[in-house]
Structure 1
Amino acid sequence: MTTAPPAPDSAPDAAATIPASDAALAEPVRNVGRVWIGGITTAMLGLYMAFFTPIQVLLPLQLEAIDEDGKVAAFGLVTGVGALVAVVANPLAGALSDRTTGRFGRRHPWTLGGVAAGALALCLLGFQTTVLGVLLCWCLAQAALNAGYASLNAGIPDHVPVRQRAVVSGWIGFPQALGLVVGAVIVTMFVTDLSAGYIVIGLAAAAMALPFILTTPDPPLPRRARPPFSWRAVLDTFWVSPKAHPDFAWAWFTRFLVMLGNATGTLYLLYFLDDAVGYPDPEQGVLILTLLYTGGVIATAVAGGVVSDRIGRRKALVTASSVVITIAALILVFWHTWPAAIAAAAIMGAGFGVYLSVDQALITQVLPAATDRAKDLGIINIASTVPQVLGPALAAPIIAGFGGYAGLYAVAAGVTLLGGILVWPIKSVP
């Protein structure tokens, strides 16, 4: 096996202090194989099913049954508070994972504990008959599942060399779109009872993570490598200095902008089909567009990663994929028709698939230190989560007073394009 070129690092002095014998902190040099990639892909698919199926299908139905008149406000409350819990839980659990010592490793215990606790919370969620009960159980599920996700996501910089990261990121990226579809099919076609749907999705997430946890290595962190505990370190979990690590800051900001553009343009898709397109069955239309979008993501995520790894470049492909997403949004600015919506969904999926794999690989190359990989990836995850909260808040006034749906998709296009352009100030990644 050849030795990988050294990874660009915005903090080389930190890497230099890591003893070569500490496998948990060493820069990976050996390619991971198909079994490892298949295991983490399956585990990610299970987690994405657990994240998205309740939001897309189960929670709306459950809250409608509890309070039909107040279902919209209740759904906004539950998902909004759940998103805030995810913002806190992901980097915090990542930081604790980074500090975990023990013979079972520092990632697998958190992955196992997270998916197990998340499955239990989802099972309890299915039996709630009040909005408060739904809110509390969903927050517990978000906290636990994000703990599992934070540790699992750190497997890329922990085990995958730079030359292979884009293609592996593609494999763990497309389940983000596929999980929504698979979960929705399960709970609408095979398990129609609400509580049973939660149970099946929760148990599936845990079962799909087990093969990876039980069959892949997770080198333990030596106790001497664990920094002493301090409350300031806990607060620092949510902050990486842009001055000390500018490449990380630019990567965070560009991810935030692209995800904000995506959220702004997609969260009101149902209303767009109903109000602007006049599609006779908007719910069916959203399902068709989601399937087209998912197909585009699956078709390009791994292929984009392969191209990026082979040419050794990230920024150009991040920009190119952002331009493709922008084109999809611009189609909906000028044409409010069903054929235009079909074309936009397919084009957006194709662009987003490449973006998911290449941008994730780029991010792993600008992490400040090997000792904080999971925590820093958790901070990056905030850039993906917060737009889900801000998107609806921005979209509503734009639709109401700044050009309607044409204005909404124009803003989405502009924000996405800006995110793709601002990747270029990153210096340490080609």
Structure 2
Amino acid sequence: MTSADPLGALAEPAHRVGRGWTAALSLANVAIWVGWYGPLQILLARQAEDFAPGTGMSKETLLAWVTGVGAVVSLVANPFFGALSDRTTARWGRRTPWIVAGSAGGALSLLLLAGAGGLWSMALGWCLVQLTLNAAFAAVTAAVPDRVPRRQRGAVGGWLGAAQILGAVAGTGLATAVGGIAAGYAACAVFAVVGVLPYVLCCRDIGLGAADRPAWSSRAFLRGFWLSPRRYPDFGWAWLTRFLINLSNALVILYLLYYLRDGLHHADPEEGVLVLTAVNSVTLLATVVVGGVWSDRVGRRKPFVLWSGVLMAAATAMLSVWQTWSSAIVAAAVLGVGLGVFMSVDFALMTDVLPSALDRGKDLGVINVANALPQVAAPAVAAPIVTYLGGYRVLYLVAAVAGLAGAVFVRRIRAVD
């Protein structure tokens, strides 16, 4: 099971990848998301309950502090390791060494987190998990523009989007099913290693040729993380599109439990969140691959990103204007349809506007900041709106406007249809 493209690492891929390659890369992606979501959904919250009494903080505050510090590490780690993988000259290729090191380091970090005895060791362990798994994730993501031709990236992006959802579900299931915090972390650690093995062992990764290797300069390395929107306008507009649509989605999710309890007065808001999440996940999985394949077949990206963004904005506005439990279910379903198409096609679009073949990993890392930064920005935007500026109706209208703006901005991209 190898990629058939015989060209160098910096050449534009010309030959389609097979189903085996896509399946192996998707499984590696599942493994990484298991390593993240097992802790995020279940295990860190349980540890926060155990450690909070000795810190003077509530369990909510402790958990927010630990995950917030981890999010900062993630913001830095993804583009940093992407840039390192771009310049890696190992005989196993540019990406494979980082997939191996990142997944192995992630597994060890999860085991360290399993043995945490308090706040500081818990925070250190989670930061190491974010650091190491982001190294693997940056390399897995960069493998797509390295190996997949442009007219196949929508389909591959769709499978990677499905892998993300499946990884979240599998991580939550493992953390819950095995019993106990330590056992949950151990199960996630094992999956994080085993899941990447098919790709590492069976898929060829081409390294840089001698003529392609850039001279090392620490100053140039650090300056490379700034990509001027004036010099690379398509990249800038694509980044802004992803940031605004992800910010809209983060604003929807952040206070969903409180919205159901205080806005809709739902009898069981916790169960309501689970129902809405399940509805959203089902419709997302139903469209994430289909949207990418359809985009590949017609050879266009922007209309899919535009109309999926408009659809999500309309569903978000529904939460503001029509505040009933029935409308919330409809909105969750519609959001899933739009987000599924957006995830696959937006990923393909991003790979089409990368400024340099040499810096694919770093540039995709910069793009991935548009995924993580909204998680940090959303609380700062949402809290004053809910508290002082009109409550949930205004919050969801703001979220809808942000998503609609992101969808419209995709029209400013010139190099992609």
Q: TM class by shorter-chain length?
A: over 0.9
Instruction: Tell me the secondary structure at the aligned position of residue 424 of structure 1.
Output: helix
- Name the residue aligned to 2:33: 48
Alpha carbons 2:7, 2:13 under 8 Å: kept: no
Q: Is the 8 A contact 1:22 1:221 kept in 2?
A: no
Aligned-pair Cα RMSD in Å: 1.4
From 50, 67, 81, give the equivalent of 1:79. Answer: 67
| Aligned AA (1:201) | C
Equivalent residue number for residue 238 of structure 1: 225
The reply on whether 1:67 has 2:52 as its aligned counterpart is yes
Letter in 2 for 1:152: V
Matching residue of 2:118: 130
Whether 1:154 aligns to 2:142 is: yes
Q: For residue 407 of structure 1, what is the aligned residue in structure 2?
A: 394
Deviations 1:322-354 (A, max 9, x none): 011112111110222222221111111110000
Identity rate of aligned residues, in percent?
A: 48
Q: 1:309 to 1:118 in 2, by over 3 A?
A: same
Q: Give 1:306 shift.
A: 1.1
Equivalent residue number for residue 37 of structure 1: 22
Question: 293, 300, 316: which one pairs with 1:306?
Answer: 293
How far apart, in 1, do the equivalents of 2:350 and 2:331 lie?
Answer: 27
Structure 2 residue aligned with 1:377: 364
Distance in 2 (CA, whole Å) between partners of 1:240 and 1:52 is 31
Where structure 1 has 5 or more consecutive residues not aligned to the other structure, the ranges are: 1-19
Equivalent pairs counted in the alignment come to: 410
Please list, as runs of the form range in 1=range in 2, the aligned pairs for 1:240-255 lying within 5 A after superposition: 240-255=227-242
Residue 109 of structure 2 aligns with which residue?
121
In the alignment, the residues of structure 1 paired with residue 46 and residue 330 of structure 2 have an alpha-carbon distance, to the nearest angstrom, of 30
State whether structure 2 residue 237 is matched by structure 1 residue 224.
no
Gaps of 5+ in 2: none
Q: Label 1:326 to 1:358 Cα distance change in 2 as closer, same or farther (>3 A).
A: same
Find the aligned partners of 1:219 and 1:206 in 2 and give their Cα distance: 22
**Residue by residue, what CA displacement relative to the aligned partner does 1:296-322 show, whole Å, maximum 9, x if unpaired?**
111001100111111111111101000
1:256, 1:224 → 2: CA distance? 36
| Counterpart Cα distance in 1 of 2:79 and 2:30 | 21
Q: Give secondary structure in 1 for the equivalent of 2:11.
A: coil
CA distance in 2, matches of 1:127, 1:288: 33
User: CA contact under 8 A between 1:63 and 1:71: conserved in structure 2?
Assistant: yes
Query: Would you say 1:105 and 2:93 are equivalent positions?
Result: yes
Q: TM-score if structure 2 supplies the norm length?
A: 0.96
SS in 2 for 1:390: helix
Q: Deviations over 1:401-423 (max 9, x none)?
A: 11111111111110000000001
Deviations 1:245-300 (A, max 9, x none): 11111111111111111111112111111211222222222122111111111100
For the residue of structure 1 that corresponds to 2:9, the secondary structure is coil
Q: How does 1:271-286 map to 2 (within 5 A)?
A: 271-286=258-273
Give every structure 1 segment of 4 or more consecutive aligned residues whose post-TM-superposition deviation is greater than 6 Å: none
Cα distance, 1:115 vs. partner? 0.6
Residue 88 (str. 1) matches residue 73 (str. 2):
no
Could you tell which deviates more after superposition, 277-286 or 260-269? 277-286
